[in-house]
Structure 1
Amino acid sequence: MGESPVEALYEQVRAAVPVAADHAPPTLLQVFPGIRVLALRTPTLPPAAHTNVYLVGPDAGPVAVVDPGSPYRDQQTVLDEVIGGVGISRVLLTHHHGDHVGGAAALAERWQVPIAAHPRTAERLAGVVEVTQLLEDGEVAFSWQAGGATCVFTPGHADGHLCFEIGGATIAGDMVAGLGTILIDPSEGDMALYLESLERLRARPQSMILPAHGPPIPDGHAKLTEYLVHRRMREQRVLDAVPTGGGSAMIDDLVATAYSDTPRVLWPLAERSLRAHLVKLLREGRVRETLGRWSR
């Protein structure tokens, strides 16, 4: 399996928007009872430069490790040193993107533990990371005397995306971010499903959201509402940019109009999101596409 379109785009954006080097050593922090986090450097989407690795379970271990995404040996060594003090029972993956799975295979091999993920994530990772345990919506992925991690299926950003609920906290993967943005790329994601998944999470009991990038989000419902409002605003801007009355426009023209509030250096990223919105609008019969030109 070669580099995915999403990962190629991340690389393009990193080249255009370099992130300042951060040489501070990763620090293990308690963010919720039974949940600790270690932010490791990964090739992710700027302005983020790290992916949060969550250690779930009792303080004395063993723990489940969620999204060991760093491919860098120095970062993997830090994680190994932490795990050496508590032990590990399994690796859990929220989805298949490289900044979430970059260290998963090496970690599982070193510690001889299984990797668990949704079946669609397993399919995406075939030949790259061997998923040995399949997880479904509502299943308890890992449990200990004081709690457990329950799977919540949240497709949209990726077709096999899972969140993990642990008491009053939700490890949310790339559903929302504490730093940066969430890309919905039509090659691997689905805007309609993503919005449905945001609604599904918001309909569940209030919880602290623990994102893959950035700090914890104490008011999870408020953040989910913020994301829904923003995506609907952007969808309306995309729809308004599509000509009516017999006119039509190419993708580049639509990006310039619908994302005029976005720095031009980020327009390649904006184009992918715009295409995801257009796919949704096309399915709903609200826009038309003819030979690459869009109209209403």
Structure 2
Amino acid sequence: MSELAYGVLRQVTPTAAVLLAENPGVMTLDGTNTWVLRAPGAESCVVVDPGPMDPAHLGRIAAQAPVEVVLLTHGHLDHSEGARSFGRQVDAPVRSVDPAFRLGGEGLAEGDVISAAGLSIRVLPTPGHTADSVCFLLDDAVLTGDTVLGRGTTVVAHPDGRLGDYLESLRLLTTLPVGTIGLPGHGPELPDVVAAAGGYLVHREQRLAQVKAAVTTLGGAPTARAVVELVYADVDRSLWPAAEWSVRAQLEYLREA
């Protein structure tokens, strides 16, 4: 990834460019990646994840108009808060799994192929981080939202997110062609999303084993916080609240196994 720059449209692949929202944080890394998609030579574009309600950021995206359609990878506000306002601003429908974020009424489902801006964009349901998470597959790249990040690992946002679903979603991504570029919701692009998803699976298996061992050590039915204090002792405490989400999902997964 090139030097971090807010407010600058950066071309990543022949069909995908990114605008980085200025909302950095523990959960958002450098900020939310808003993706602008168009085939070479196409006048219109597709916008994925307009991001927070930041008029300056939304204005910079609107400058890429005409926009045919706005797509959401999931409903977390750092991706979706500005979506309906942006859709009205550029007179474009907003499509999402969750009806609460739609503008124009059309959803997203497995098997959908969105033909816009000279592209065919296939919807891949990838629940786990959240129940409504999806990825968008292009010819040589896949937009992964928060299912796979450009740096570090994501959380399973229990109770909406479920670990079993998340593991299946990662396995689905490992079936894509090797070398498929990952275009994440946060962090830099990934040269091979298959390798990244495989690494996530290994990490999750290791964490699950650690959580299982912690439950045995602590005895009874330990709280997620107690497990976090043991398993994540070497992790910055600012990340512990997010880790509790994932641990709750792991404890539920172990109970159901």
TM over 0.5: yes
Aligned length: 252
Is the 2:32–2:51 Cα contact (8 Å) retained in structure 1?
yes
Which position in structure 2 is the counterpart of 1:105? 84
Residue 131 of structure 1 deviates from its aligned partner by 5.8
User: Given the alignment, which residue of 180, 198, 204 partners 2:176?
Assistant: 204
SS at match of 1:159: coil
Q: Is 2:244 aligned against 1:262?
A: no
In 2, Cα distance between equivalents of 1:174 and 1:78: 23
Which position in structure 2 is the counterpart of 1:272? 245
**TM-score (structure 2 length as normaliser):** 0.90
In 1, Cα distance between equivalents of 2:62 and 2:42: 15
Which position in structure 1 is the counterpart of 2:57? 75
Which position in structure 2 is the counterpart of 1:31? 12
Which position in structure 2 is the counterpart of 1:88? 67
**TM-score (structure 1 length as normaliser):** 0.79
Closer/same/farther in 2, CA of residues 154 and 46 from structure 1, 3 Å limit: closer
SS at match of 1:203: coil
In 1, Cα distance between equivalents of 2:156 and 2:104: 24
Closer/same/farther in 2, CA of residues 173 and 23 from structure 1, 3 Å limit: closer
Q: Is 2:29 aligned against 1:56?
A: no
Is the 2:72–2:96 Cα contact (8 Å) retained in structure 1?
yes
Closer/same/farther in 2, CA of residues 74 and 180 from structure 1, 3 Å limit: farther
Closer/same/farther in 2, CA of residues 105 and 275 from structure 1, 3 Å limit: same
Once the two structures are superposed, the pairs formed by residues 94-173 of structure 1 within 5 Å of their partners are: 94-118=73-97, 121-122=98-99, 125=100, 130=103, 132-145=105-118, 147-173=119-145
SS at match of 2:32: strand
Closer/same/farther in 2, CA of residues 203 and 148 from structure 1, 3 Å limit: same
Is the 1:56–1:63 Cα contact (8 Å) retained in structure 2?
yes
In 1, Cα distance between equivalents of 2:249 and 2:212: 12
In 1, Cα distance between equivalents of 2:166 and 2:110: 16
User: Given the alignment, which residue of 221, 239, 248 partners 2:194?
Assistant: 221
Is the 2:69–2:116 Cα contact (8 Å) retained in structure 1?
no
Residue 56 of structure 1 deviates from its aligned partner by 1.3
Which position in structure 2 is the counterpart of 1:195? 167
Residue 171 of structure 1 deviates from its aligned partner by 0.6
Residue 154 of structure 1 deviates from its aligned partner by 0.5
Q: Is 2:219 aligned against 1:237?
A: no
Which position in structure 2 is the counterpart of 1:17? none
In 2, Cα distance between equivalents of 1:44 and 1:109: 28
Which position in structure 2 is the counterpart of 1:289? none
Closer/same/farther in 2, CA of residues 249 and 263 from structure 1, 3 Å limit: farther
* Higher Rg of the two aligned structures: 1
